[in-house]
Amino acid sequence: LKDILRKTKRCKGFDEKSLDELVLAASIKTAAKGEIIFYEKDPAYAFYVIEKGKVKVFKMSPDGKEQILMIANDGDTFAEAAMFTGGIYPASAQTLEKTELMVINRDRFVNILERNPHIAMNLIARLSELLHKLNRLVEELSLTDITTRLAHYIVNEIDSHDLNVKESGTNSNYKLSLTLKEKKSTLASQLGTIPETLSRSFAKLSKEKVISVDGADIEILDYDHLSNIAGQ
Amino acid sequence: LKDILRKTKRCKGFDEKSLDELVLAASIKTAAKGEIIFYEKDPAYAFYVIEKGKVKVFKMSPDGKEQILMIANDGDTFAEAAMFTGGIYPASAQTLEKTELMVINRDRFVNILERNPHIAMNLIARLSELLHKLNRLVEELSLTDITTRLAHYIVNEIDSHDLNVKESGTNSNYKLSLTLKEKKSTLASQLGTIPETLSRSFAKLSKEKVISVDGADIEILDYDHLSNIAGQ
DNA sequence: CGGAACGTTGACATATATCAAAGGGAGTGG
DNA sequence: CCACTCCCTTTGATATATGTCAACGTTCCG
């Protein structure tokens, strides 16, 4: 357990004492693909660290439209905030593949927090980061159209990985490319829309020669223009 | 300064030592109506406590549409999260009336946090509350139409104040009513829309005999139905 | 009295969702 | 290796919600 924690990005820099304390609040859980970790409005008695796997956190409207709030991968944590807000989960969580989870008990964790400023500061930083992201989502949902959101998503992906520049075969130019890590229908839900509309946005950007799409592979033909559409 | 802090809802239960420390990080600022406190992307070196007044925190799209994230009133704090996320404000803030503010210096506050678990826990609770609200906003923006959002807003307002039940003049029934505290155009921006559309939503609910509207005064004619539209 | 700010209403444009259908790729079983 | 199915994606036709633009009425206040 402790070794797993040590490898978690969220726990970088924690001292041995903090890790020992955290272990006391933790247990392990394995979930199959498609399993529900918790439903929105379930009582929240724990939060989660992903050891290995992938989980989507989402909200669902009465008529079935889904809005993904985040996709959590190896080393990510989720549902931390739920522990302090009324005791229920504000969204649902479901695995997208077989996933190993660490479950951190709420009451024990709060207890640890009160005695470990280091862990508390870490949590504050994490909550701030979440706020920042939600902020961004609100901005996009209320102020921009879907093509803009898609452009923004692509630019972000490109900028966060440095592995996307490949030397072109024919000359000495470089190519920017990207392979989607999720299904397009999942991406649609993340961007607050449906697959059909996302597909049309891809088609639009392709038609404008900004990108070219081949399945999950996307090549950026005009980064400046794309960046422009994304709005800086 | 200390007395003002003591009265702030956010500082309820702080001990003298914590208050003394906070005072060291605080200064006072007076802002006229309509004054900008900070713009989105300004460097964030402080957060704010409202002593008296009203401030809107909002985002603006390139073409001028505004999305209000929160309206902060007496005793509220805002921009706490900005201090931990990249050092810039994620939104703009502007006073809606003459406002007395307490400015809390970022670096000093972080310093205090590290030595005061009590204040840290308080901040964690506050950040969680913000996350909860933003979550709700995301849900509404992506999953519900504007009439639903309006119904939800009214139900919320009714439920959070207990002063809205008045005995009817003619018989022994009770009337539920509500007076809007903001301009309708401000409410529109909070709900993620524009005044025209909000006006139509009001008209729709009126036509369905769910509410009746007279300027800023709203009478609830059919609470159950309204609650139904709001979605529980 | 006159103007400004606000709210409402109408006609219209546009973006997005909905519904239906078809294509294509991956996996499975024969 | 082929046929079949399933799931994902794409495309088209259409409906709906919301934004845009313009006009008008009201209230408030100088």
Report the alpha-carbon distance of residue A50 to residue A28 in Å, rounded. 10
- Lowest mean per-residue pLDDT among A176-185, B5-14, B40-49, B212-221: B5-14
Name the residue with tokens 């005009």. A222
pLDDT-based confidence at residue A169 (cuts at 50, 70, 90): low
pLDDT digits (tens, 9 = 90+) for B158-168: 988 766 666 55
Cα distance between the two ends of chain B? 43
A88–B contact, CB cutoff 8 A: no
* Contact assessment for residue A75 and residue A34, using Cβ atoms and an 8 Å cutoff: no
A124–B contact, CB cutoff 8 A: yes
- Lowest mean per-residue pLDDT among A74-83, A170-179, A184-193, B136-145: A170-179
* Contact assessment for residue A151 and residue A205, using Cβ atoms and an 8 Å cutoff: yes
A44–B contact, CB cutoff 8 A: no
Considering only CB atoms, B138 lies closest to which of A114, A123, A138, namely: A138
Q: Is the dihedral of CA A37, A118, A137, A148 positive or negative?
A: negative
Local structure of B58: helix, strand or coil: strand
CA distance B37 to chain A (A): 19
Q: Half-sphere exposure (CA, 13 Å, Cβ side) for A102? A: 26
CA distance A127 to chain B (A): 6
Give the residue from chain A lying closest to B136, CA to CA.
A90
pLDDT digits (tens, 9 = 90+) for A113-152: 888 888 898 899 889 989 989 998 999 998 899 999 999 9
Cα distances (angstroms) measured from residue B29 to each of A42, A203, B16, B50, B206: 44, 52, 23, 10, 43
> Which residues of chain A neighbour B77 with C-beta distances below 8 Å?
none
pTM of the model: 0.85
Phi, psi angle pair for A211, to nearest 5°: -135, 165
Give the torsion through C-alpha atoms of A127, A133, A137, A139, to 10 deg.
100
Q: Which pLDDT score is estimated for B114?
A: 87
Q: Which pLDDT score is estimated for A163?
A: 61
Q: Does the beta-carbon distance from A124 to B123 stay under 8 Å?
A: yes
Report the alpha-carbon distance of residue A110 to residue A107 in Å, rounded. 5
Report the alpha-carbon distance of residue A12 to residue A5 in Å, rounded. 9
Phi-psi region of A192 (alpha: psi -120 to 50; beta: other; left: phi over 0): left
> Which residues of chain A neighbour B141 with C-beta distances below 8 Å?
138, 141-142, 192
- Closest CA relative to residue A80, chosen from A52, A100, A51, A109: A109
Considering only CB atoms, A69 lies closest to which of B113, B138, B231, namely: B138
* Contact assessment for residue A7 and residue A52, using Cβ atoms and an 8 Å cutoff: no
B144–A contact, CB cutoff 8 A: yes
Q: Is residue A171 over pLDDT 60?
A: no
Q: Does the beta-carbon distance from B67 to A143 stay under 8 Å?
A: yes
CA distance A131 to chain B (A): 6
The whole-number average pLDDT for the span B137-151 is: 94
Q: Does the beta-carbon distance from B120 to A124 stay under 8 Å?
A: yes
Q: Is residue B85 over pLDDT 80?
A: no
* Chain centroid offset of residue B34 CA: 17
Q: Does the beta-carbon distance from A128 to B59 stay under 8 Å?
A: no
B130–A contact, CB cutoff 8 A: yes
